[in-house]
């Protein structure tokens, strides 16, 4: 069975509460992907953490059941969700005061994807200097660049530049 590698990132504009989620699916880390291979999706009325989750879920949603996948992200919240799973589920996705968690809907979808797929998560330090990047960092930097460029061009086209 071959492995799938997903590199996921997002670029968020807090002033306008929108952003772009980006991901790149690879099957061969030795291949040199281009920025055109990065898939981008616009999300509005969101926040940074929610956007990162939306992007990962979008990427995972396109995979066949049981696919062995390594997911690379610079969002520490994503891999940490697995450590929090039992507590989140036992609290029925509510906080200590009994209020529903802000991203409860996405957490539930995330855990469903974790059951459906064979996932391994990798946290990457974002924005590493070029000389310190390994192959995963280089591919991730491409995804990061695509998301930032798309958000900048979207904001410019809609006269939302600061």
Taking only the tens of pLDDT, the chain with its 162 residues reads 589 999 999 999 999 999 999 999 999 998 889 999 999 999 999 999 999 999 999 999 999 999 999 999 999 999 999 999 999 999 999 999 999 999 999 999 999 999 999 999 999 887 667 777 778 889 999 999 999 999 999 999 999 976
Report CA torsion sign: 63, 153, 155, 78: positive
According to the CATH classification, is domain 4-157 in 3.50.50.60?
A: no
CB atoms within 10 A of CB 107: 18
With 0-12 / 13-18 / 19 or more C-beta atoms within 10 angstroms meaning exposed / middle / buried, residue 127 is exposed
């Amino acid at each position: 069975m071959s492995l799938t590698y997903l590199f996921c990132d997002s670029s968020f504009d807090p002033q306008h509460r929108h952003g772009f989620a980006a991901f790149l699916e690879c099957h061969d880390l030795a291949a040199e992907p281009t920025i055109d291979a990065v898939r981008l999706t616009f999300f509005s009325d969101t926040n940074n953490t929610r956007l990162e989750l939306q992007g990962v879920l979008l990427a995972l949603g396109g995979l066949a059941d049981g696919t062995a996948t390594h997911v690379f992200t610079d969002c520490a919240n994503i891999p940490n969700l697995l450590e929090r799973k039992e507590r989140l589920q036992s609290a029925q996705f509510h906080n200590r005061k009994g209020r529903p968690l802000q991203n409860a809907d996405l957490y539930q979808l995330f855990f469903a994807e974790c059951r459906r797929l064979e996932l391994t998560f990798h946290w990457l330090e974002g924005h590493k200097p070029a000389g310190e990047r390994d192959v995963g960092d280089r591919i991730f930097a491409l995804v990061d660049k695509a998301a930032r460029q798309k958000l900048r061009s979207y904001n410019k086209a809609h006269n939302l530049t600061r």
